[in-house]
Amino acid sequence: MRVIRKNKDVIAFFQSLRERAFGSGSEIEQRVKAILDDVRRNGDRAILKYTKTFDSHDIKRLEIRSDEISKYAEKADRKVIKALNLSAKRIRAFHEMQKETSWSFSEGDNLLGQVIRPLERVGVYIPGGKASYPSTVLMNVIPAQVAGVKEIALCVPTPKGEINPYVMASIKLLGVKEVYRIGGAQAIGAMAYGTKTIKKVDKIVGPGNIYVALAKKMVFGEVDIDMIAGPSEILIIADDSANPAFVAADLLSQAEHDELASAILITDSKRLADAVDKEIEKQLAHLKRKEIARKSLDNYGVIIITTDIKEATELANHIAPEHLEVMTEKPMDVLPMIKNAGAIFLGEWTPEALGDYSAGPNHTLPTGGTARFSSPLGVYDFLKRSSLLKFTRSGFMELASTVETIADIEGLEAHGNTIRIRRQELSR
């Protein structure tokens, strides 16, 4: 990995991180727009066409029925089923803590408050191209269920007709009944616009490749979305007390995702930097996905040496990483200095992989610096809020002149008339 110290080199690297994500006006963006337009116009027919083109699968039925789900789930290894069950329980317990309730308060005879309701219908995209992710089913469906969403529809790509038993096992475990064997931008279009077979949803959640990410971006407004997920990221703040093997392993855990993933170590220890660099090479040689990890590290992996840990946290806040690990002698002392991060992992026994699968917090996290203003997926993403107002005649009169004054200075005569007409009625 590259080791940098100079400020200008750090700035240049930060710029490369920003530029690695997709941009507007790209050729891919035009392709995605064409697919979405086709799905909007032609519905199921377009879905079938693109599934045959991109997934080499000439499907006859979009749905994966419950009996099919059960059949494939039965092929899953019992040890994996046990792991998924434990993870699901922990994820559900964590998200139960995020529940919100309606509230109101009285102001004399007046009533003000907020009504909390779950979304009616949500679409979940489960990636299924180069790999399949049963953990994504758990992380996206469970918060929706905890929120009380009545209808949850899943889109799961099945390239060449292959159905992953572990994804089906997760789906069966959670009791989801509505599942479709489609993926890519066409699946996003189907959920956003609706087709003869697939009913339109209110919100789409779940990660995917660049086609899926761009499609979600384009349908936002037609439906809500969770976020536009970019390449995976990990940033580790470590001092001289950190174990080089642990640091290297955790950096590689993100580098193996894809060639655009970023893995960053920021440390005030030259000794640790050198040791981690050597350890990465040692561990990399034994990884099945070493070619992917190598490209990731060559392009977007870096070790930054700072004067102290305070400077390290300042750089980390600037990057606002998806995953932030703190491997210092006293990680709790560092926590107050962290302002921007999707998830924070404290101490050497808290690797990012715990959060990916079984700890409980959601692994759907803001990327590309968006942790500056956004949050992990949670129950709150599947809720909507309505303000509640109920005024009596005396309560109305108490605010009438104030509202009328503001309406008049804004030039909205009809707004003011809603007050004047009622005041005239009361004066009769």
Give catalytic residue positions. Answer: 322-323
Rounded CA-CA distance 112/124 in Å is: 35
Rounded CA-CA distance 391/70 in Å is: 54
- At 153, list the tokens: 């529809």
Amino acid at 230: G
**Distances from the Cα of 71 to the Cαs of 21, 55, 161, 164, 175, in angstroms?**
39, 22, 15, 11, 14
Amino acid at 366: P
Angle at 419 between CA 417 and CA 425, to 5 degrees: 100
Phi and psi for 104 in degrees, rounded to 5?
A: -160, 160
Amino acid at 87: S
Rounded CA-CA distance 162/55 in Å is: 10
Rounded CA-CA distance 376/259 in Å is: 23
Angle at 61 between CA 58 and CA 67, to 5 degrees: 120
**Distances from the Cα of 399 to the Cαs of 147, 274, 380, 420, in angstroms?**
36, 69, 33, 12
